[in-house]
Structure 1
Amino acid sequence: MALEDAKTQVDMAFTRPDPRGLAFENAFGGATSFLRRRYTKDLAGIDLAITGVPFDQAVTHRAGTRFGPRAVREASTLMAFDAPFGWGYDPLTEFAIADAGDLAFDYAKVADFPDTLTAHIRGILAQGAGTITLGGDHYITYPILKAYAETHGPIPLIHFDAHSDTWADDDLTRIDHGTMFYKAVKTGVVDAARSVQVGIRTDNPDTLGIAQIPAREVHEQGAARVAERIKAIVGDRPCYLTFDIDALDPAFAPGTGTPVWGGLASWQVAAILRDLAGINLLGGDVVEVSPPFDPSGATAIAGAHVALELICLWGWTRRKG
């Protein structure tokens, strides 16, 4: 569709006739579906579903990530005009991608939330689509991984974060965004030996056997070397990538609940993610974007870019296969 055709379009979040293709509508108007994809719960024929999980009741410090999915969607509208730079292909044109909306849950029944989210992702996977999820606090990754592990067994995890989120917690009823990967490893959801954490800069001596590439090593070794190390660890196994926005330094992403200095720069993340092309990515998420702490919107913009890179990674192997 050319720019001239934009005059005849009426909010492609609802009227897009084909789930493939770029969008040439005004970025400042219309419904804020992710990348101007069509909103739909019917995923027949859809390759990849974007879904939001506006949950932030597992945080240890500043709340606000319940507004993350909405902010990331809004930021993404400016990115729907062009093919992603540097990839050499356009996943928005080659694949049928839809916005499946947000998870519906009762905020007053927190104990029910994990199973509700697992069932939501299971339902999307059952329709034949993969998922890229917009959070929400980081706890949401655990219930999502459970749904994937039902089919694929223990999942190799690529985890970008300032924190390991593997602090010991043997109470499976606790809902905490700092302990869920401890539980994921202990319950056999995550394959620790094939997993890696990138950008870590808070102390937790027990890694549970997960490889770590601290932020300082990223700075010293460079993006290309880090991507090589990640790919060597994960191998060709089907994997999942979770990106906590606080992997970025607060200078690049101040809108998050537990910011830590010394983090990754946006250019480093862009280079690493693009150099991961070829991994067998099942799905991914972007979490911990907290708009109340960033009136500039820069954090949501970063989150939208990461989500688009995850789409590119997801599509790369499929188009080559």
Structure 2
Amino acid sequence: MTTIAEKPDYSLYSNAFGYLRQPLDFRPLDGDADVVVIGLPFDMATTGRSGGRMGPGAIRNASVNLAWEEVRWPWDFSLNEHIKVVDAGDLVYNCGDSADFTQRVEDFATKVVESGKTLLSFGGDHFVTLPLLRAHYKKHGKMALLHFDAHTDTYSQGSKYDHGTMFYHAPVEGIIDPAHSLQLGIRTDYDRSTHLFEVIDAAAANDMTVDQIVAQIKARVGDLPLYVTFDIDCLDPAFAPGTGTPVIGGVTSDKALKIIRGLKGMNIVGMDVVEVAPAYDNSEVTALAAATLGLEMLHVWAVGKDLIK
């Protein structure tokens, strides 16, 4: 008979605090972590339904469904045996102060990146990517951007803090090179005559093979440092209903995961998954999709950094 002492240290949902059950470490720069996870609970830049500030917690909760696997299918190695991931919790800022939030994100991310660690961020609305990009630029210089989304977020008429303007401001600031960047899953209107980014819209992506898409991404990005940002509304609402601005006709979660896996070997320097709004989610499917996309990014990053032998 099994005694109490012989039982496992936890069941599926007990004491699950950090992403993928990784340890919480509020001083992540002091340790030997390879990757730092940060939650960015901010949704004051939304133009649609609010609630993205609750996204990081929902993603962490859903990630327990992934943490029990020793080897994540279809990979053939245990991630935990090759890289160390710590969860720095959620960024603390003065509630209601967008300027304070923006500066604190940039300051925190700058310290992480300059320490030689890689950052995986969970939003929050998509505006959080702009201060993250500013921080990564200080370390890596001008970067390529791979942007999964239903919207281009290149609108110039928005306010200073607007989740639809980041990729207008980032090229203007010289942070990313649109000539080597690509947006995938777009299915809302934009001015094609002035648009700087290559686009694989959702209708095209749904008709193309994964190999065709990955080949186009790699040809566009080349050998530039690559920042990957994934707005969960890139997925069709059938796979991700819990988001602020859902648009039907998106890609499937299966196709998105296969595209992410196809990025192995690329020089990924930063990653985020944003726009999970759990109040509109059904059975945590959106949060689970976001948590899984983050896990796939970690596998691809580890392979790209030659940490898997």
Q: Which runs of 5+ in 2 are unaligned?
A: none
* Aligned residues: CA RMSD: 1.8
1:312 CA drift (Å): 1.0
CA shift digits 1:78-116 (9 cap, x unpaired): 111222212222222200111111111112222222111
State whether residues 136 and 287 of structure 1, in contact with CA within 8 Å, keep that contact through their aligned partners in structure 2.
Answer: yes
Alignment length (residue pairs): 301
| Equivalent of 1:128 in 116, 121, 125 | 116
* Aligned residue in 2 for 1:168: 156
* Aligned residue in 2 for 1:42: 27
State whether residues 53 and 125 of structure 2, in contact with CA within 8 Å, keep that contact through their aligned partners in structure 1.
Answer: yes
Q: Summarize the alignment of residues 200-215 of structure 1 with structure 2, pairs less than 5 Å apart.
A: 200-206=186-192, 208-215=195-202
* Aligned residue in 2 for 1:114: 102
| Equivalent of 1:272 in 238, 254, 259 | 259
* Aligned residue in 2 for 1:198: 184
One-letter amino acid matched to 1:153: G
CA shift digits 1:52-91 (9 cap, x unpaired): 0000000001000100000000000111122221222222
CA shift digits 1:139-184 (9 cap, x unpaired): 000000000001111110000000000011486xx10000111000
State whether residues 243 and 275 of structure 2, in contact with CA within 8 Å, keep that contact through their aligned partners in structure 1.
Answer: yes
- Residues in 2 aligned to 1:287 and 1:252: alpha-carbon distance in whole angstroms: 15
State whether residues 123 and 274 of structure 2, in contact with CA within 8 Å, keep that contact through their aligned partners in structure 1.
Answer: yes
Q: Residues 320, 126 of structure 1: CA spacing in aligned structure 2 closer, same or farther, 3 A cutoff?
A: closer
TM (norm. structure 2) is: 0.93
Q: Say yes or no: does 1:299 pair with 2:294.
A: no
- Residues in 2 aligned to 1:69 and 1:39: alpha-carbon distance in whole angstroms: 14
State whether residues 17 and 24 of structure 2, in contact with CA within 8 Å, keep that contact through their aligned partners in structure 1.
Answer: no
* Aligned residue in 2 for 1:7: 7
CA shift digits 1:213-249 (9 cap, x unpaired): 0011111112221111111111222111000000000
* Aligned residue in 2 for 1:16: none
State whether residues 158 and 165 of structure 2, in contact with CA within 8 Å, keep that contact through their aligned partners in structure 1.
Answer: no
One-letter amino acid matched to 1:95: I
Q: Percent identity?
A: 40
Q: Which runs of 5+ in 1 are unaligned?
A: 10-24
| Equivalent of 1:183 in 148, 151, 169 | 169
One-letter amino acid matched to 1:270: L
| Equivalent of 1:70 in 54, 57, 70 | 57
One-letter amino acid matched to 2:229: T
State whether residues 51 and 103 of structure 1, in contact with CA within 8 Å, keep that contact through their aligned partners in structure 2.
Answer: yes
TM (norm. structure 1) is: 0.90
1:6 CA drift (Å): 8.2
One-letter amino acid matched to 2:78: D
